[in-house]
Structure 1
Amino acid sequence: MTPPVGIPYVREFAFNYGRCDRVSPLIRRVVAENPGPFTFTGTGAHIVGHGEVAVVDPGPDDPRQIEAILKATRGEKITHIFVTHSHLDHSPASRPLAEATGAVIYAGGTPCRPSGGGDRLEAGDDLTFRPDVALADGQMFRGPGWTIEAVATPGHTSNHYAYALVEENALFPGDCVMGWSTSVVSPPDGDMGLYMRSLERIRARRYDALFPAHGPPIRRVDSFLAAYIVHRRHREKQILIALETNGAATVRQLVSRLYADHDKRLHPAACHSVLAHLLDLYRRGVVDVAGDIGIGGVWRPTFMRHAA
């Protein structure tokens, strides 16, 4: 099978932990010191506006990160804290930051369902997180010189929201789109069908720039998203071809075949994404499963069931 043209990843950018860098006329960024195989260099908290400002994804509950955000906004007032989703590298700093500033925390209102089993992700679920205000899709928020729209983008998690900065036609996509890597979709909370629809929705809105929570901005948005979507469709085809060619398999067996040349530290995340693809294919009637509808199940194309 001929692979598609690769994703034009954006990985190079200048930063220092704790330093505040301006990345656009209305946006500043502070990178938390939580690097890892799922967080790249760390979580970038984005500060929007001047005077009265909003913070998008403040990051982990690390006093150094909270202090860095407070230092970057000294003499200003943080009025809004927007959280894209309740993972431990995004949401925990929101509560102590709100307590220090009086800001209101906004996020999707549905608590995430925890990832289970031995393939739990390094950047895990923040099961205690609750926003002050649960969002509705399309809800608008304003400050002096800035306007933020809440854009529902479920899939990476069920409660995932992105945030559009109207004045710059830019989007903070959280982990729905990352410039340095593909995003993990981890059932039961993650849903590949919803995730693909969210990618298509973002692409259809024609943003001029994306500011992911990990890594640098994405400026060539349409070509990047097109490659991102093609990559996912290609992975789906690879899974089906592997099942048709080599026979029924568990998720771990598929990952060992399809990700043989990848860093083995990423194999647990790959298990989750492959399972998410299989569950989407199962709902569409393309594959069937014997046993557990999950990591331990034995998956096969539906034509093999009919032929048995």
Structure 2
Amino acid sequence: MALPPEPWPTGIAEQCEPLVRRVLAPNPSPYTYTGTQTYIVGSAGDVAVIDPGPNEPDHIDAIMAAIGDAKVAAIMCTHTHRDHSPAAAPLAERTGAPIVGCAPLVIDSDLPRSDEAFDTTYAPDRVLEDGEAMTGEGWTLRAVHTPGHTSNHLCFALEESGALFTGDHVMGWSTSVVIPPDGDMGDYMASLERLQAREDRVYYSAHGAPIEKPRQLVRGMMGHRRQRENQILRLLGEQARTIPDFIPVMYKGLDERLHKAAQMSVMAHLLDLEKRGLVAQGENEVWQTN
């Protein structure tokens, strides 16, 4: 999807609803759209900061300006990609707030990944289990475990307004990239099904516009992934293929900078299909149907 015309509201605290403001980080890219959106939840007394974003001094200053005189009760991270959590530690130093949310993640693998590397500096004071909540003056944020994009991904439900902060699990501009070895397509689909069963009013994702019809979007995303899966099976039915062979057929006109991410997404589908006994990997990384 093409970027919207500038200027973007980078560094400006925008009011989304009475309990929610957002501050856009200065990190636009093919993976982050116009940048990472940090959310500040709470209107008086104390607030929570969701996905503080990259460790960019200007962005941290903008978050501090938006917080103003309020106490920060928690700095909450949906997952530990480097466009989401690195600002947590410096923000904690400036506010004294605990870092709360997803678990830390360390991957011991030489498999290639996209440029969205993991944040190895992330050190939470408290890991939220599924269903656990952080509370403040007039707000409650409850963790919803949504693995798939990453194994440690959480969404946060704002119970007072029916909003769900979806991180990268469901985004307002593109489908989420699922990258093995940590990303898992089977888990991702199960997490989408979990959100489809909920009745959230609106999604606030870390990238892109608010999602006003969340269940409709999730239904479409699930259909899109099933379509990709069927496309892979059809192509393998024609002939055995390596992963790069799929890209020109499945992703026509894709920005070359995103080819590696597309390959990782195809790999995630293939690994899920392999678990289900539908495909197999042969010699020289050639895939075929069973």
Q: Structure 2 length normalisation: TM-score?
A: 0.95
CA distance in structure 2 between the aligned counterparts of 1:210 and 1:225, rounded to whole angstroms: 11
Matched, 1:67 2:61: yes
**Which sits farther off after the overlay, 188-197 or 126-135?**
126-135
Q: Distance in 1 between matches of 2:142 and 2:194?
A: 14
Distance change in 2, residues 1:256/1:190 (3 Å): same
Specify which of 221, 246, 252 is matched with residue 254 of structure 1. Answer: 246
Q: Which runs of 5+ in 2 are unaligned?
A: none
Residue matched to 2:90:
96
CA distance in 2, matches of 1:176, 1:243: 28
Measure the CA separation in 2 of the matches of 1:57 and 1:15: 19
Show the counterpart of 2:236: 243
Summarize the Cα distance change of 1:12–1:54 in structure 2 as closer, same or farther, 3 Å threshold: farther
- Could you say which structure has the greater relative contact order, defined with CA pairs below 8 angstroms and 6 or more residues apart? 1
Counterpart position of 1:212: 205
Amino acid at match of 1:168: S
The residue correspondences of 1:246-285 to structure 2 (distance < 5 A) are 247-285=239-277
- CA shift in 2, pair 1:192/1:248, >3 Å: same
Equivalent of 2:50 in 56, 71, 89: 56
Percent identity, aligned pairs only?
A: 48
Amino acid at match of 1:301: T
- Answer whether contact 2:8 2:34 (CA < 8 A) is retained: no
TM-score (norm: length of structure 1): 0.89
* Partner in structure 1 of residue 80 of structure 2: 86
Matching of residues 1-308 of structure 1 within 5 Å: 15-50=8-43, 51-113=45-107, 116-117=110-111, 119-245=112-238, 247-291=239-283, 297-302=285-290
SS in 2 for 1:199: helix
Whether the 8 Å contact between 2:195 and 2:215 is mirrored in structure 1 is no
Q: What CA deviation, in whole Å up to 9, does each residue of 1:195-237 have, x standing for no partner?
A: 0001111111111100000111100111111111100110111
CA displacement 1:80-103 (0-9 Å, x = unmatched): 111010100000000100111011
Bigger mean CA deviation after superposition, 82-91 or 122-131: 122-131
Deviations 1:229-255 (A, max 9, x none): 10011011111111112x111111112
Q: How far off its partner does 1:128 sit?
A: 2.8
**CA-based RMSD:** 2.0
Q: How far apart, CA to CA, are the structure 2 residues paired with 1:83 and 1:114? A: 22
- Aligned partners of 1:105 and 1:132 also within 8 Å: yes
How far did residue 12 of structure 1 move?
A: 9.0
Report the Cα distance in structure 1 between the residues aligned to 2:228 and 2:6, rounded to whole angstroms: 28
AA partner of residue 207 (structure 1):
D
1: CA distance, partners of 2:273 / 2:9: 43
